[in-house]
Amino acid sequence: TAVLTSINENLIPTQFLGPKPNGSAFGTKIDTYGEKRSDFLTYAQKIVNPSVRVWVLFLIVVQFPNFLKWTGLSLMDPGASNFFKAAVRSIISRRQADKVKHKDYLQLMLNAQNKTLDTSDEPDIDGDKSEQIYGPIDAIKNPIANKVKMDVTEVDVLASSFIFFVAGYETTGSLLTFLFYRLALDEKCQRKLYEEVSRFDGDYSYENIVKMTYLEACIAETLRLYNPLVFNERIAAEDYKLGDTGITIPKGTFVDINVWSIHHNPEYYPNPDHWDPERFMPENRDQLVPYTYMPFGMGPRNCVGMRFALMEAKTAAAHLVNKFEFSRTADTPTELKPQKMQFLLNCGEIKVGIKSRK
């Protein structure tokens, strides 16, 4: 008998995703479901939920970019920073001892460090139509290729591995949290998504995932309505005149792009606060206004992990929607209110009902 259970959605996706970035980035698996809480999860939470001290430092750094260099301070929790550095160094040492080549992000960085990276090996992305929504992606097909042109140090390897794990941990978890919340509120959309993912009988290979157009649309609309990163930051490479406003942005100026406001602008998205995956179905994509949808940034400096994050989120969503039904409970909020002073979008605790489909 299927039993309706209330769950805290903020926790489930991050635990579900915990081993995924580790396996794909570091070639090692982490138990995130055991009774003993994983150290990876413990320290990752410290990084994505910064303390007041970190917030104060962040505000100072915005005004004085060299402040950390002058003082030797860090925006990262010292314990978490030391843990991840030690973990990556341990994995590297084991690989050097075993002399085994892995197919993951860390191995690419090590190959770049050793000048043995094969930049001719482009990934096979046949059938992936993501660029119709997220913009041209030629610049990120092989994001590490440019590293060959410079010396890659141990610091580069450690920092890149650290960012790969942390950046994909909370953001993808938040995306799935908001997706399941919207599905719980919209039985019609959830039923349509279930009908699509169930046709593949649990075979969620890359080739099958890219065929799921409604899943793609649900993910895209969730990223529009609840983009984990509420703003993007860029630095002006040269003096730039802002249209006919009479405003000139001086070279070197930090520019914050308010993604939240763009994604919720009724000029670009009619009834912007309404969750409507149909906006991103193939037959409607020609109505999207260029440069008004940027959950991963835009242009040559957009998120290098975009494809990985999308495929990870789609695979996780397909598995979970195929196995479980999400529903509204007495504890499910009718609307979400973003909390202030957060690096990432945070709407507080979200509870929904969940029951097995079989």
Check pLDDT > 60 for residue 260.
Answer: yes
Given this model, what pLDDT does residue 28 score?
57
Q: Which residue has the higher pLDDT, 303 or 144?
A: 303
User: Using 50, 70 and 90 to split pLDDT, how confident is the model at 120?
Assistant: low
User: Using 50, 70 and 90 to split pLDDT, how confident is the model at 262?
Assistant: very high
Name every residue whose Cβ is closer than 8 Å to that of residue 322 and which is 6 or more positions away in sequence. Answer: 194, 197, 198, 202, 357
What distance in Å separates the CA atoms of residue 227 and residue 171, rounded to the nearest whole number?
9
The CA-based angle 172-174-178, given to 5 degrees, is 120
Given this model, what pLDDT does residue 84 score?
84
Which of 205, 190, 162 lies closest to 314 in space, CA to CA?
A: 205
The position carrying tokens 């100026």 is 253
Given this model, what pLDDT does residue 63 score?
78
Query: Could you tell me if residue 247 is inside a domain?
Result: no
Given this model, what pLDDT does residue 26 score?
56
Averaged confidence pLDDT in the chain: 80
Query: Could you tell me if residue 108 is inside a domain?
Result: yes
Query: Could you tell me if residue 254 is inside a domain?
Result: no
pLDDT above 70 covers what percent of the chain? 77
Report the predicted TM-score, pTM, of the whole model to 2 decimal places: 0.78
Query: Could you tell me if residue 73 is inside a domain?
Result: yes
Query: What does the DSSP assignment read for 226-290?
Result: T-SS-EEEEE-SS-EE-TTS--EE-TT-EEEEEHHHHHT-TTTSSSTTS--GGGGSGGGGGGSPT
Check pLDDT > 60 for residue 249.
Answer: yes
Convert the pLDDT of each residue in 28-76 to its tens digit: 555 554 555 577 777 777 776 667 787 788 778 877 878 888 898 888 8
Given this model, what pLDDT does residue 147 score?
46
Extract the runs of DSSP E, i.e. beta strands, from the chain.
5-8, 231-235, 240-241, 248-249, 254-258, 324-327, 351-356
Query: Could you tell me if residue 126 is inside a domain?
Result: yes
User: Using 50, 70 and 90 to split pLDDT, how confident is the model at 178?
Assistant: very high
Mean pLDDT of 9-28: 49
What distance in Å separates the CA atoms of residue 176 and residue 308, rounded to the nearest whole number?
14
Whether 148 contacts 111, CB under 8 Å: no
Which of 32, 36, 42 lies closest to 12 in space, CA to CA?
A: 32
Q: Which residue has the higher pLDDT, 59 or 325?
A: 325
Query: Could you tell me if residue 90 is inside a domain?
Result: yes
User: Using 50, 70 and 90 to split pLDDT, how confident is the model at 1?
Assistant: very low
Check pLDDT > 90 for residue 180.
Answer: yes
Check pLDDT > 90 for residue 170.
Answer: no
What distance in Å separates the CA atoms of residue 117 and residue 40, rounded to the nearest whole number?
28
User: Using 50, 70 and 90 to split pLDDT, how confident is the model at 149?
Assistant: low
> Of the segments 69-73, 308-312, 324-328, which one has the largest average pLDDT value?
324-328
Q: Which residue has the higher pLDDT, 343 or 172?
A: 172
Check pLDDT > 50 for residue 21.
Answer: no
Burial (CB count <10 Å: 0-12, 13-18, 19+), residue 337: exposed
Convert the pLDDT of each residue in 186-224 to its tens digit: 999 999 999 999 999 999 999 999 999 999 999 999 999
**Which residues are paired to 240 by β-bridges?**
249
Query: Could you tell me if residue 119 is inside a domain?
Result: yes
What distance in Å separates the CA atoms of residue 327 and residue 341, rounded to the nearest whole number?
30
Given this model, what pLDDT does residue 123 score?
53
Given this model, what pLDDT does residue 22 score?
44
| Domain assignment of residue 138, given as a range | 5-229+264-356
Check pLDDT > 70 for residue 24.
Answer: no
Query: Could you tell me if residue 156 is inside a domain?
Result: yes
- Report the CATH number at residue 200: 1.10.630.10
Eight-state DSSP code of residue 165: H
347 marked ligand binding residue: no
Q: Which residue has the higher pLDDT, 160 or 250?
A: 250
User: Using 50, 70 and 90 to split pLDDT, how confident is the model at 4?
Assistant: very low
Residue 91 tokens read as 């994995």
Total domains, the chain: 1
What distance in Å separates the CA atoms of residue 329 and residue 351, rounded to the nearest whole number?
8
Q: Which residue has the higher pLDDT, 297 or 280?
A: 280
Check pLDDT > 60 for residue 109.
Answer: yes
